[in-house]
C-alpha cells in the first residue's frame, strides 16, 4: 500500500535525507522517498500496517525538522494543495517566515558590524578599563550570534539529546562555541551569521525551484462551464463526467480533454508542447486540457476525467521527476553520511593531539580545528547537485520535453546511439495517394481505379484506407452495395461492390485468390519500377478476378526531421539507426533522405527489440562495461516493448496519449524530432554544471581543509569556503532555471 504525505515547511536537504532514512527503518515500511522539491513523502507499507503511520511519521519529521507538519494528502485535500507548496496554500505563511528570517539576519548583522568595527577601528585604550572593551565586544558578538543562531543551537542540542550527532547544526554550534572559548568573538559571530545567510540562500533556491513547479500547475484549470439540461453551470473540473458538454470562451483554458462538437477556433498548446503556432480546432478535432482557446466559442464533449487528462499526467511527471535520483545524487547522499562524522572526528583530533603530544598551544590548535569544522560543512554539494538536476528537468519541460527523473537525464547526456521508428516519428504518419497506375487505361482509368480501391477500403480503419477515402470523393458512393467485407491482416481487404468481387492489398493476397498478377502487372508500370520512381506503399487492385492496376501511398517526412538528425550528430551522437516495418525500398529511401547511418526494414515489434538488443551488445566492451547510452524514439504505443528495452525510451507526440506517457522515460509533447537534440544538449549542460559543482566544492574544501590544518587559513577564508562556495555552486545550478537555459 502506497500513501503520500505533504511535509509542510520542509526546506533542509540534510533533514530530508535523514527523514527518509529513519522512515525506512520503521517496522512494516517497505520503501520511503522524500521529494524535497514537492515536499512530498511517499511511503509504501505492507498490508496491514500496524499502528498510526501518520503519527509515527510526524514524530520522525519533528525530530529532524521542528516546525514541519505532516499531512496525508487524502486528508488535506483542498488545504495543502498538490505538494508544491508552498505553492498555493501556504504562500502567505512562507512569505512571513522568509521576512522574519531576513529581519533576524539584518538585526544580527548590525550587531556583528558593531562588534567588528569596535575590534578593528577602536583602540581598547579609549576605555578606562580594558575589561569594558572585552565585555562590550563579547556582548555585541554574542547578541549577533544568538539572534542569527538560536534555531541552529536549539536544533543541535535536541539532536545531541537524542544521540543524533554529526549534522551541520552540530558543526556550526561546536565551531561557534569553540571560537568564543578562545576569544575569537567577531569570528564566532561571523560563522553563525554567514551560515544563516547561506541557509537562507539555500532556502531561496529551493523555493525558486518549487515556484517554477507551482507556476506550471497554473496550466491546469480548476473550473469548467458545463451544460446540463440546457443550463450553463460553473463547476469544479473534477466534477465533470466523461461525455458531458462544456463551453470554452475565447481566452479561456480548456479544462478537460475532449472533442469539439461545435464552433471553430485556434488553440494555443504552447504551455504543453512548446509550439508557438496555434492549432486549428473545429468539429471532430481533439483538444487537450491546458490549451488556450484563442478565438471563437467552442462546445466540447469531454473524453476523459480531470485526473486522467494529459495535462494532469504531465504535471504529475514534472512534479515527481526529482524523486528519481541520478547516480550523482545518490553518491552525494551517501557521501554526506560518512563525510560529516569523518571531518568532525578529524577536527577533534586536530584540536587535542598536537597540544597533548607535541607541546602545541591549545588556543592555536583549537582555532585551526574551528576553521577545519567551518570549512567542512557539505551544504554546497547537498543542495546544488539535486538543484542542478531539477533545473535541467525544468528547462526541458519548458520546451515541451518531459524527462521522468534525474537518472534518465544522466543517461540522455551519455547518448551515443539514437534509434528511430519511422511512421509518426520521422514522418507525419499521414498517408497520401502519390500515384495511380491502371493496368487497362482504355477501359478503366485512374479515377475508376481509385474509386474501386476506395469502395473496397471504406470499412477499414487502417491509415492507408483513410488516405484512399480522402483522395477519392464521388457523389452517390453511399448508394453502392458493399457486401462481404473481410480484412486479411497484413495483406489487405476482400469485398463485393455491386456484385463485383474486389481485392485491394498486396500481390500475395491477389495471388492467393487466383488473380493472374504476372501478366497484369506487365500492362502498367511494374511494382519495382513504381517503387523506385514513386516510393511509398503499393496497394494492388483486382476486380472480378482480373488485375486492374496499383496505387502508390506515400507518407510525408516531417519538416524538421532532417535537421533533427543533423543536430543530433552535432550534439555528439555517433550513430543513428532507423527501424521500420515498411518495405525495404521505403525505409532505405527515408534513411537516405534524412542522413541516417543504418536502416532495418520489414520488422515486427519483436524484431525491433532484437535489433535494439544487438545494438546494445555492440556498445558493450570488455568486462561488460557499456560505452555510452542508446535511446529509442517511437510513438509510445506500438513500440512499447522496444521503448522499455532501450536505455532511454522517448515517445514522440505524447500529447493526449496515455500509452506514450506511461511507457516512455521521456516524452516529447510536440511532433518535432528536433526537440530530441535539445533534450540531449540540456542533459549534457546539466551534467556539466553538476560536475562543475562537485569538482569546485570538493576542490576548494580540500585545499582549505589542508590550509586550515596547517594554520595558513583565517576564519574569513573558512567562511568563504563554506558560505561562498555554497553561494557560487547554487548560483551555477540556478543557471538551468533561467529562461535562457
Residues involved in catalysis? 421
What CA–CA distance (Å, rounded) separates 715 from 717? 5
> Is 444:438 a contact under the CB 8 Å cutoff?
yes
Phi/psi for 564 (5° steps) reads -65, -45
User: What are the CA-CA distances from residue 67 to residues 9, 26, 97, 199, 626 (Å)?
Assistant: 7, 22, 11, 16, 46
Q: Which of 552, 606, 617 is nearest to 579 (CA)?
A: 606
Q: CA 260, CA 253: separation in Å to the nearest integer?
A: 14
- Which letter does DSSP use for residue 26 in this model? S
User: Scanning the structure block, which residue is given the C-alpha cell 466540447?
Assistant: 300
H or E segment and range at residue 580: none
24, 44 contact by CB (below 8 A): no
CB burial of residue 327 (10 Å; 0-12, 13-18, 19+): exposed
Contacts 24+ apart (CB under 8 A), 271-280: 271/219, 272/219, 272/310, 272/311, 272/314, 272/400, 272/655, 272/669, 273/400, 273/655, 273/669, 273/670, 274/398, 274/399, 274/400, 274/401, 274/669, 274/670, 274/675, 275/400, 275/670, 275/672
Q: What is the DSSP letter of 262?
A: E
Long-range residue pairs from 114-120, CB within 8 A, at least 24 positions apart, any chain: 114/140, 115/140, 115/141, 115/144, 115/185, 115/186, 115/189, 116/186, 116/190, 119/185, 119/186
Distance in angstroms (rounded) separating the CA atoms of residues 177 and 175 = 6
23 alpha carbon, distance to own chain's centre: 26
In a 3-state reduction of DSSP, which class is residue 625? coil
Distance CA(300)–CA(408), nearest Å, equals 37
Report CA-CA distances (Å) from 573 to 569, 629, 650, 680.
5, 10, 15, 9
Amino acid at each position: 500500500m502506497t500513501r503520500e504525505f505533504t511535509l509542510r515547511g520542509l526546506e533542509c536537504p540534510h533533514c530530508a535525507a535523514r527523514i527518509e532514512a529513519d522512515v525506512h527503518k520503521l517496522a512494516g515500511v517497505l520503501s520511503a522517498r522524500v521529494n524535497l522539491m514537492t515536499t512530498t513523502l511517499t511511503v509504501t507499507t505492507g498490508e496491514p500496517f500496524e499502528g498510526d503511520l501518520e503519527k509515527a511519521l510526524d514524530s520522525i519529521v519533528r525530530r529532524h525538522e521542528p516546525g514541519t507538519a505532516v499531512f496525508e494528502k487524502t486528508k488535506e485535500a483542498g488545504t495543502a494543495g498538490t505538494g508544491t507548496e508552498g505553492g498555493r496554500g501556504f504562500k502567505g505563511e512562507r512569505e512571513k517566515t522568509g521576512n522574519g528570517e531576513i529581519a533576524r539576519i539584518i538585526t544580527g548583522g548590525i550587531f556583528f558590524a558593531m562588534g567588528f568595527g569596535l575590534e578593528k577601528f577602536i583602540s581598547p585604550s579609549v576605555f578606562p578599563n580594558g575589561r569594558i572593551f572585552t565585555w562590550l565586544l563579547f556582548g555585541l558578538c554574542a547578541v549577533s550570534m544568538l539572534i542569527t543562531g538560536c534555531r541552529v543551537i536549539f536544533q543541535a542540542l535536541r539532536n545531541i539529546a537524542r544521540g543524533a550527532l554529526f549534522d551541520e547544526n552540530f558543526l556550526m554550534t561546536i565551531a561557534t562555541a569553540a571560537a568564543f572559548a578562545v576569544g575569537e568573538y567577531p569570528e564566532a559571530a561571523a560563522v553563525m551569521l554567514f551560515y544563516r545567510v547561506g541557509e537562507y540562500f539555500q532556502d531561496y533556491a529551493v523555493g525558486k525551484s518549487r515556484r517554477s513547479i507551482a507556476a506550471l500547475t497554473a496550466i491546469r484549470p480548476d473550473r469548467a462551464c458545463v451544460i446540463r439540461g440546457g443550463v450553463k453551470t460553473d463547476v469544479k473540473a473534477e466534477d465533470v463526467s466523461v461525455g458531458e458538454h462544456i463551453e470554452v470562451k475565447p481566452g479561456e483554458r480548456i479544462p478537460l480533454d475532449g472533442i469539439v462538437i461545435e464552433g471553430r477556433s485556434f488553440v494555443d498548446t504552447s504551455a504543453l508542447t512548446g509550439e508557438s503556432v496555434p492549432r486549428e480546432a473545429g468539429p471532430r478535432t481533439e483538444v487537450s486540457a491546458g490549451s488556450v482557446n484563442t478565438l471563437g466559442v467552442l462546445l466540447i464533449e469531454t473524453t476523459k476525467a480531470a485526473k486522467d487528462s494529459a495535462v494532469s499526467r504531465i504535471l504529475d511527471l514534472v512534479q515527481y521527476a526529482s524523486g528519481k535520483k541520478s547516480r550523482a545524487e545518490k553518491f552525494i547522499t551517501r557521501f554526506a553520511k560518512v563525510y560529516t562524522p569523518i571531518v568532525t572526528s578529524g577536527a577533534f583530533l586536530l584540536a587535542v593531539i598536537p597540544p597533548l603530544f607535541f607541546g602545541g598551544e591549545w588556543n592555536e590548535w583549537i582555532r585551526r580545528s574551528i576553521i577545519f569544522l567551518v570549512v567542512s560543512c557539505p551544504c554546497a554539494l547537498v543542495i546544488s547537485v539535486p538543484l542542478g538536476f531539477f533545473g535541467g528537468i525544468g528547462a526541458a519541460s519548458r520546451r515541451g520535453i518531459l524527462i521522468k527523473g534525474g537518472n534518465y537525464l544522466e543517461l540522455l547526456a551519455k547518448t551515443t546511439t539514437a534509434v528511430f521508428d519511422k511512421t509518426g516519428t520521422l514522418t507525419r504518419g499521414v498517408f497520401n495517394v502519390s500515384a495511380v497506375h491502371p493496368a487497362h487505361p482504355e477501359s478503366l482509368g485512374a479515377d475508376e481505379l481509385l474509386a474501386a480501391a476506395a469502395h473496397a477500403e471504406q470499412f477499414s480503419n487502417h491509415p492507408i484506407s483513410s488516405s484512399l477515402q480522402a483522395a477519392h470523393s464521388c457523389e452517390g458512393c453511399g448508394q453502392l452495395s458493399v457486401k462481404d467485407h473481410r480484412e486479411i491482416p497484413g495483406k489487405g481487404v476482400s469485398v463485393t461492390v455491386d456484385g463485383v468481387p474486389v481485392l485491394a492489398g498486396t500481390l500475395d493476397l491477389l495471388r492467393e485468390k487466383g488473380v493472374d498478377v504476372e501478366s497484369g502487372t506487365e500492362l502498367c508500370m511494374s511494382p519495382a519500377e513504381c517503387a523506385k520512381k514513386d516510393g511509398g506503399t503499393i496497394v494492388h487492385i483486382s476486380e472480378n478476378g482480373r488485375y486492374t492496376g496499383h496505387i502508390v501511398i506515400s507518407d510525408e517526412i516531417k519538416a524538421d526531421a532532417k535537421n533533427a538528425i543533423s543536430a543530433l550528430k552535432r550534439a555528439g551522437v555517433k550513430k543513428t539507426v532507423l527501424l521500420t516495418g515498411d518495405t525495404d525500398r521505403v525505409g532505405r529511401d527515408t534513411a537516405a533522405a534524412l542522413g541516417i547511418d543504418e536502416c532495418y526494414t520489414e520488422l515486427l515489434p519483436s524484431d525491433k527489440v532484437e535489433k535494439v538488443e544487438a545494438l546494445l551488445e555492440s556498445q558493450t566492451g570488455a568486462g561488460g562495461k557499456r560505452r555510452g547510452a542508446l535511446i529509442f524514439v517511437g510513438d509510445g504505443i506500438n513500440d512499447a516493448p522496444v521503448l522499455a528495452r532501450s536505455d532511454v525510451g522517448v515517445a514522440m507526440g505524447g500529447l493526449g496519449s496515455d500509452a506514450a506517457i506511461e511507457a516512455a522515460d521521456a516524452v516529447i509533447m510536440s511532433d518535432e524530432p528536433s526537440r530530441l537534440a535539445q533534450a540531449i544538449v540540456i542533459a549534457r549542460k546539466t551534467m556539466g554544471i553538476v560536475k562543475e559543482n562537485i569538482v569546485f566544492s570538493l576542490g576548494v574544501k580540500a585545499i582549505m581543509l589542508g590550509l586550515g590544518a596547517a594554520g595558513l587559513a583565517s576564519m574569513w577564508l573558512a567562511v568563504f569556503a563554506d558560505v561562498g562556495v555554497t553561494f557560487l555552486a547554487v548560483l551555477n545550478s540556478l543557471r538551468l532555471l533561467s529562461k535562457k537555459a
